[in-house]
Amino acid sequence: MNKRHLFLALSLFCFSFWTWTSAQESSSPPVEEKQIEESPDLTAEFSLLQEEVKKLRLAEEEENAKAVTPVQIQIPKIDVDTAVEQVGVLENGQMGVPKDENQVGWFEPGVTPGSKGNAVIAGHVDSKTGPAIFYQLDQLTKGDDVLIRDEAGNTLRFRVTKTERYDTKTAPIEEIFGATSNRNLNLITCSGTFGDGGYDERFVVYTELVDTELNETVDLETPTAVELKGNLLTWHAVRQESVIGYRVYEVVDGKATHIESVPSHARKSIEVTNENDASYYVTAIDQLGNESKPSQTTN
């Protein structure tokens, strides 16, 4: 659980040994503070009934059963087949790197590959002496496969959805590491020009889990009949077993704010202030923290 509450200062790190050493010496590495939410804490957000909490735990367990603790990665297109180390966060807030330049590092405090969210694996592009394991990572294009295996031999297949090149200082940490309802695996290495501060770019390969069984899961329905009756905002429940509650958003001047969370066993209505020409919409939340599309907005 403490993973969820862990405040991590992360920066994308270049995976050249040489640069790594120099970065450690650097007095002011670019540090950006972000909270990584593995998944929102549903038990804190919704006052759930015991059986609902049980349902939630079961769903989480089932969910985790799909994930694998990676020990091996294969990327057939660029002939990568190597071991996976576990890395964490360095004292300066940067993500750690694999000790062996011919292996890769899975960011262990984050998401496990196959779970919902962004799992991250980094590998070096080169060492002081020459190319390293992710030297050809930029050859990957949409549709290429990445395979992840755990100790027992369970294999997950991920497929590249896109690749991006970012300036080191402005890379979107949230997009790469942050919470998502998809089961993603993102691969990082260095690119660009090598200078005093190391490489000035990072190359990121975004992939998502290919799993026919998972793709068949029913889409979360959107709450209907959202109506404002005076100060009472009411809506109809989403009649899906997996729904544990609803989030209510208030929209003022085009800006939406989450104002309340209502558990599924409660009356589907809340009292709102209804000031400043506010309008409202509602989303449904399932036991894995997935959020439905917004309902129609009132007014």
Residues that bind other proteins (CB under 8 A): 47, 49, 225, 229-232, 234, 236-237, 239, 263, 265-271
Which residue lies nearer to other proteins by CB, 169 or 236? 236
Structure tokens at 166: 């970012």
Which residue lies nearer to other proteins by CB, 102 or 269? 269
Please, what is the minimum distance in Å from the beta carbon of residue 235 to other proteins? 8
Angle at 60 (CA atoms; ends 181, 183), nearest 5 degrees: 30
Q: Is-contact 165 201, C-beta < 8 A?
A: yes
Structure tokens at 290: 């997935």
Which residue lies nearer to other proteins by CB, 232 or 252? 232
Q: How far apart are CA 116 and CA 61, in angstroms?
A: 12
Q: Provide the residue count of the chain.
A: 299
Which residue lies nearer to other proteins by CB, 5 or 236? 236
Which residue lies nearer to other proteins by CB, 77 or 268? 268
First to last CA, the chain: 41
Residue 265 to residues 22, 27, 59, 73, Cα–Cα distance (Å): 56, 54, 18, 44
Please, what is the minimum distance in Å from the beta carbon of residue 266 to other proteins? 4
- DSSP class of residue 170? G
Please, what is the minimum distance in Å from the beta carbon of residue 41 to other proteins? 17
Please, what is the minimum distance in Å from the beta carbon of residue 217 to other proteins? 22
Phi, psi of 174 (to 5 degrees): -60, -40
Please, what is the minimum distance in Å from the beta carbon of residue 241 to other proteins? 11
DSSP string, 35-91: E--SS--HHHHS---HHHHHHHHHHHHHHHHT----SEEEEGGGTEEEEEEEE-B-T
Which residue lies nearer to other proteins by CB, 50 or 129? 50
Please, what is the minimum distance in Å from the beta carbon of residue 233 to other proteins? 10
